[in-house]
């Protein structure tokens, strides 16, 4: 394992070093210490490596991740795994606002709580939160899954498209065009598989499913005065 101490090395130098790794690199295990709230830490990775961060990174940690596995032994700032493409990002603590925003693929696991707008405009990413999430989570969520084992704030799933939302706890309120849907055996099996993949112990039968009512998809002549 290669250890990089950010008390001695800049984030820019670390990121550039990781970006230059070839796909077939044998330098696959990395450890970052003393992050001290550094922003954009290990962002833009594009190789099948594993990076463990011991401490608390700042904004946009592991943004645009592709193929890499990033494990954070701490809490994360705003924009964790933003626009993630593939791979896995796992946070042992809490995540701030907009975790997984615009994510297109891969798996994001938050073992604590996540702030507001978790999964905003998600486009294929799977997000599993062991705790609770804040308001406006899954706003304009297009595809992918958001699983919340705790509670959810207000306006959940506002203006949702085709993403799948699963909640075990309480939902303060649903956003525009978001409704509760029947949990079919198909969806139950999908949820069980996702929980297992995330390493989260929870009974899938205790979850409720939410999705789009599809009332915003089409123009209605009765509402012409509103346009």
Largest CA distance in the chain: 65
Q: Where are the domains of the chain?
A: 2-201
C-alpha torsion angle, residues 72, 75, 79, 82 (rounded to 10): 20
**What three-state secondary structure class fits 186?**
helix
Looking at residue 21, the DSSP 8-state letter turns out to be -
Least Cα distance to 84 among 119, 33, 35, 36 occurs for 119
Looking at residue 188, the DSSP 8-state letter turns out to be H
Per-residue model confidence as pLDDT tens for the chain (227 residues): 999 999 999 999 999 999 999 989 999 999 999 999 999 999 999 999 999 999 999 999 999 999 999 999 999 999 999 999 999 999 999 999 999 999 999 999 999 999 999 999 999 999 999 999 999 999 999 999 999 999 999 999 999 999 999 999 999 999 999 999 999 999 999 999 999 999 999 999 999 999 999 887 666 666 656 55
What's this model's pTM, rounded to 2 decimal places?
Answer: 0.94
Q: Give CA–CA dist 140/147, Å, rounded.
A: 16
Q: How far is CA 41 from the centre of its chain?
A: 16
């Amino acid at each position: 394992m290669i250890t990089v101490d950010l008390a001695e090395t800049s984030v820019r130098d670390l990121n550039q070093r990781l970006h230059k790794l070839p796909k077939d690199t044998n330098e696959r295990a990395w450890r970052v210490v003393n992050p001290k709230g550094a922003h954009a830490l290990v962002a833009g990775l594009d190789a099948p490596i594993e990076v463990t961060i011991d401490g608390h990174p700042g904004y946009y940690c592991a943004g645009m991740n592709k193929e890499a596995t990033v494990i954070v032994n701490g809490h994360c700032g705003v924009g964790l795994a933003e626009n993630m493409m593939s791979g896995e990002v796992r946070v042992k603590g809490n995540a701030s606002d907009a975790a997984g925003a615009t994510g297109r693929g891969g798996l994001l696991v938050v073992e604590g709580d996540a702030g507001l707008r978790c999964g905003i405009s998600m486009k294929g990413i799977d997000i599993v939160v062991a705790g609770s999430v804040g308001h406006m989570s899954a706003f304009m969520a297009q595809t992918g899954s958001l699983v919340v084992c705790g509670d959810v704030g207000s306006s959940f799933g506002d203006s949702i498209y085709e993403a799948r939302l699963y909640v075990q706890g309480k939902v303060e309120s649903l956003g525009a065009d978001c409704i509760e849907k029947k949990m079919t055996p198909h969806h139950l099996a999908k949820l069980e598989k996702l929980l297992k993949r995330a390493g989260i112990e929870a009974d899938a039968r205790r979850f409720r499913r939410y999705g789009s009512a599809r009332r915003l998809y089409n123009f209605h002549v009765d509402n012409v005065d509103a346009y």
